[in-house]
Every structure is written in structure tokens, then in C-alpha cells.
């Protein structure tokens, strides 16, 4: 009887002693739950303040709805970063050291996600600029050929941005390097063949016009 009473007394004492730590951790987590949505809204407001829509218009992108999606995604990453930053000390107060290690690694991984998103956004913008530039550069070609050439350049930029984003996230880095090298080689070979075959006519026209000017 005394043994059972001592065990119950020990459990009760441990629970009473743990209550301050439990309340402290809950308090820290509540502060994080309050600040995280504020950080989310503040991030979205700051991104709007930078007026990235001007960059969209310069890149020739008329659909600005995707811009709001990017802003929301970045805001969500900031919100989770703040929440995890407050969750870590709360877990430490509660004594969950192993979970702290996992959450800490997750927190340090979030900047990679943010950088990968920025790389994807820049790639999206550059792909549109590349398409316009290439389409104007080969405007003397047939319409279908010019569009195919411009689309190839656009998708090449998108592919490069995708591979760079995956590399930043640490997803199969060795495989991505091999794919990147293969794509660069393929594009170089394709462009060389395209200019070698398609540029013969253009080169002939240029030489012919030069000859006419010399005769004049």
C-alpha cells in the first residue's frame, strides 16, 4: 500500500513540477501563433510595395494573377519560419530535445525553399524575355520556324531554372548535374545545326546584298 502511495505521490509531484514548463511553452507557442500571421501579411505588403508588376510588364507578361500566387507562397514560407522559430524554444522548455533537432533542421531548410522559389520566379520572367527577344531576332524566318526557335529558348530557360531550383533544394544533385550537362550539350548541338542549316539562306542574302552595294 505504501509503495503504491509513494508511486502516486511521485507521479503527482512530477506533474505539478512540469506545469510551469508546460505553461511557459504554451505561452511561447501562442506568441508565435500571433506573430506568424502578422509576418505573413507584412511580407505580402512589402512585396506589393516593391511593385514587381512593373517587372512583369517589362517582361511582357500580362497575367499578373501568378504574381499574387508567388507573393502568397513567399508569405507562407515566412509564416512557417516564424512559427517554427517559436516552436523550437517551446519544445526545449517541454524537454523534447530530439524533436527540437528535427524542427531545427526543418527551419534551416526553409531558406533553401525560399531561394528556390526566387530562382523559379526569375526563370519564369527570363523565359518570357527570352521568347520575345528570340522571336524578334529571327523575325526574318518563317513564322512557324521563328516561333519554334523562340519557344525552344523559352523552355530551355524554364528547364535551367527548374534544375537550379531542384539543386538548391538538394534533390538528387548528382542526377541534376548530369541532366544539366546533357541539356546544355543538346541545346548547343541543336542551335549549331539550326544556324548551320537555317543560316545558309540568310548568309547568302547578306553576301548578295553586299555584292550589289559594292557594284553600285
203 vs 17, higher pLDDT: 17
pLDDT at 139 over 70: no
Residue where one domain finishes, among candidates 95, 119, 151: 95
50 vs 100, higher pLDDT: 100
**Residue 65 and residue 125 in one domain:** no
pLDDT at 82 over 90: yes
Residue where one domain finishes, among candidates 62, 95, 128: 95
**Residue 127 and residue 195 in one domain:** yes
Nearest CA to 190 out of 159, 148, 130 is that of 148
- What phi, psi does 66 have (nearest 5°)? -65, -25
- For all residues of the chain together, what is the average pLDDT? 76
**Residue 31 and residue 44 in one domain:** yes
**Residue 159 and residue 199 in one domain:** yes
Residue where one domain finishes, among candidates 45, 72, 95: 95
Q: What is the pLDDT of residues 158-208, one digit of tens each?
A: 888 888 888 888 776 666 677 667 666 666 665 555 555 555 555 455 455
Q: What is the C-alpha separation between 78 and 72, in angstroms, rounded?
A: 10
State how many domains the chain has. 2
Residue numbers of the domain that contains 41:
1-95
Structural contact between residues 94 and 21, judged by C-beta atoms closer than 8 angstroms: yes
Buried b (16+ CB within 10 A) or exposed e, 48-68: eeeebeeebeebebeeeeebe
Give pTM, 2 decimals: 0.66
C-alpha separations of 22 from 17, 19, 132, 139 in Å: 9, 5, 59, 69
Amino acid at each position: 500500500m505504501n509503495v503504491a502511495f509513494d508511486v502516486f505521490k511521485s507521479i503527482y509531484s512530477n506533474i505539478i513540477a512540469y506545469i510551469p514548463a508546460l505553461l511557459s511553452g504554451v505561452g511561447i507557442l501562442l506568441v508565435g501563433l500571433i506573430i506568424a500571421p502578422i509576418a505573413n501579411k507584412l511580407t505580402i505588403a512589402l512585396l506589393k510595395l516593391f511593385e514587381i508588376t512593373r517587372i512583369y510588364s517589362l517582361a511582357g507578361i500580362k497575367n499578373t494573377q501568378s504574381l499574387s500566387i508567388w507573393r502568397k507562397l513567399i508569405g507562407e514560407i515566412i509564416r512557417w519560419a516564424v512559427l517554427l522559430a517559436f516552436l523550437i524554444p517551446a519544445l526545449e522548455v517541454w524537454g523534447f530535445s530530439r524533436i527540437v533537432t528535427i524542427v531545427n533542421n526543418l527551419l534551416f531548410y526553409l531558406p533553401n525553399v525560399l531561394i528556390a522559389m526566387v530562382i523559379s520566379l526569375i526563370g519564369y520572367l527570363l523565359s518570357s524575355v527570352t521568347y520575345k527577344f528570340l522571336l524578334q531576332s529571327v523575325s526574318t524566318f518563317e513564322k512557324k520556324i521563328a516561333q519554334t526557335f523562340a519557344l525552344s529558348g523559352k523552355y530551355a530557360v524554364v528547364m535551367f531554372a527548374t534544375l537550379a531550383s531542384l539543386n538548391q533544394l538538394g534533390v538528387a544533385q548528382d542526377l541534376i548535374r548530369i541532366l544539366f550537362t546533357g541539356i546544355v550539350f543538346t541545346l548547343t548541338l541543336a542551335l549549331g545545326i539550326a544556324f548551320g542549316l537555317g543560316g545558309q539562306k540568310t548568309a547568302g542574302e547578306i553576301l548578295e546584298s553586299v555584292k550589289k552595294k559594292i557594284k553600285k
